[in-house]
Amino acid sequence: MKTIRTSVFETNSSSMHAISFANDDPKVTVDKIYVSASGEYGWDITDFKAPDEKLDYATVAFMHIARTAVKSELEEDVIDYIDEKLQNVVDCFAKHGVIVEFAEDMYKVNSKRYDTAVYIQVAISGYIDHQSAPYEDRDSAQVARWFADDPEELFKFVFNSSYIHTDNDNH
């Protein structure tokens, strides 16, 4: 069981805040999102505008950066890091009345040893094409950072009017 009190301290001196609803500029259009990190982003010319598509994209982008964000050679550490960040997103969205459910088998962490180095891989079924993968200052990197460090910004991104446009350079 889990409950969330949203953005207020218990100031009420005659009985408690029993429930609170936060409101931001983003227009919340759904109350539940299922995420499987299985979207394929980057080759076809497509706009992704729906909240579930945007959150799936952000999840895929985050998974790209997750393995490098943890300075550890242990799979457990990477799993703990990812699970913590997923939980933060669930908590943040729930605070706004949106239930997020990540697929149970959404990702797998594998490690391979090469001589003295250990290479950790986070495997998901979705991908972002290499030309727009979340490196440096690309937009996808910003979305991945929101996912990892600023779920409130991620929430705004998912429910505001911005959208993801994918394309290729063959035209």
Contact 45, 114 (CB under 8 A): no
Nearest distance from C-beta of residue 111 to another protein, angstroms: 11
Rule CB under 8 A: choose which of 50, 69, 94, 141 binds another protein.
94
Give the contacts of 51 (CB within 8 A, at least 6 positions apart).
29, 30, 33, 158, 159
Output b/e per residue, 16-42; b: 16+ Cβ within 10 A. eeeeeeeeeebebeeeebebbbebebb
Rule CB under 8 A: choose which of 38, 152, 153, 165 binds another protein.
152
* Whole-angstrom distance, CA of residue 3 vs CA of residue 23: 18
Is residue 118 near another protein by the rule CB under 8 A? no
Is residue 80 near another protein by the rule CB under 8 A? yes
Nearer to another protein, 76 or 136 (CB): 76
Is residue 31 near another protein by the rule CB under 8 A? yes
**Among residue numbers 50 through 79, which ones bind another protein (CB under 8 A)?**
74, 76
Is residue 114 near another protein by the rule CB under 8 A? no
C-alpha dihedral over 132, 64, 157, 102, to 10 degrees?
140
Nearest distance from C-beta of residue 39 to another protein, angstroms: 24
Is residue 26 near another protein by the rule CB under 8 A? no
Nearest distance from C-beta of residue 141 to another protein, angstroms: 22
